[in-house]
Amino acid sequence: MRRIRKHALAESDLIGIWRYSYRRWGAAQADKYLDELDDGIQELARNPESGARRDYVRDGYRVLFVNRHAIYYKLMASTIHVVRVLHGEMDPGKYL
């Protein structure tokens, strides 16, 4: 199983998602949604190639969709580098 490494921007994305969810639906729902995103990230450690290739966005990038968010990541030799967690309607070419 590969180790997960989150880029600072991915960490910032997750904090922003939690804050938005908290303001909109409260702490319990924000926590639940973040847990779902984290479960998706942990699934990548078990099944690193489960995400679809997105070479047209950036060479070597993959994406895994969890609910309304897209987890963009790269497979490295011994790690999975989570680059960003973007809303599914955001333009990845602009933010990656």
Which class for 1: exposed (0-12), middle (13-18), buried (19 or more C-beta within 10 A)? exposed
Give the whole-angstrom CA distance, residue 58 versus residue 54: 7
**With pLDDT > 70 as the criterion, what percentage of the chain qualifies?**
100
Tell me the fold of 3-95.
YaeB-like fold (3.30.2310)
Pair type for strands 52-53 and 61-66:
antiparallel
The candidate with the shortest Cα–Cα distance to 71, out of 47, 46, 49, 88, is: 88
* Domain spans, the chain: 3-95
Q: What is the pTM of this model?
A: 0.94
What tens digit of pLDDT does each residue of 51-80 get?
Answer: 999 999 999 999 999 999 999 999 999 999
pLDDT class of 1 with cuts at 50, 70, 90? confident
The candidate with the shortest Cα–Cα distance to 5, out of 64, 60, 72, 82, is: 82
